[in-house]
Amino acid sequence: MNSCKIVVRVRTFAFITFLALLPLLTSCHPAAAPVAVSNRPTSINDVRQPDAPAKPVSDLTWTTADGSEQRIADHKDKVLILDFWATYCEPCKREIPHLNSLIAKYGADKLTIVGLNVGGDEDRPKIPAFMKELKVGYAVAFPEDELLTYVAGDDDRIPQTAVFDRQGNLVLKVVGFDPSVQRRLDGAVEAAISQ
């Protein structure tokens, strides 16, 4: 009988010890890697989110008309709008006066706008006359592929407009230009400048 009590006590002690250590044993395992459940791009409220670029977002670049290279990080402490456009794009033409008005409203010390032409080699010769005709009041440049892929992904519609806050975080991306896009753009710029 005595040996039965000892065996029961040992088993009870072992069981209680096991239960006490169970949370520690299970909490030490690393989390499982995420698993794709679809081949569709990630979206939030049916708005496709940009893919992570191969380099930090702050290092994504564009080349100006004079051949110099600029990065998103070069515009830190200002709100930055990158507008992807082409000379043949009618909504792009309608958006330009509004972008000019944003520069006039907030000033170049708080807001930088860069028009990134994605019209291809055949569009480049048309840019000077286009800028003069539409009185484009901000810099025009050409994006590197990584920047275009980050903002546009596989969506080739233009204009595509991206707003970055003073820390270089993407806070809004819109496609096209109409009154609702204008309101969203205005709200994002106002909020980012107010921070």
Residue 104: CATH number of its domain: 3.40.30.10
- By mean pLDDT, which of 23-32, 79-88, 144-153, 163-172 is the weakest? 23-32
Residue 162 lies in a domain: yes
Domain that holds residue 167: 55-194
Please say whether the beta carbons of 43 and 37 come within 8 A: no
| Number of domain units in the chain | 1
Q: What are phi and psi of 75, to 5 degrees?
A: -115, 20
pLDDT at 170: 94
On whether residue 50 sits in a domain, the answer given is no
In a domain, 31, yes or no: no
Give this prediction's pTM: 0.73
135 in a domain, yes or no?
yes
* Interval 78-92: pLDDT, tens: 999 999 999 999 999
Mean pLDDT along residues 165-180: 94
Q: How many CA atoms lie within 13 A of 149 on its CB side?
A: 9
Sort strands 139-143 and 111-117 into parallel, antiparallel or unpaired: parallel
Q: Is there a domain that residue 43 lies in?
A: no
Looking at the domain assignment, is residue 186 inside a domain? Answer: yes
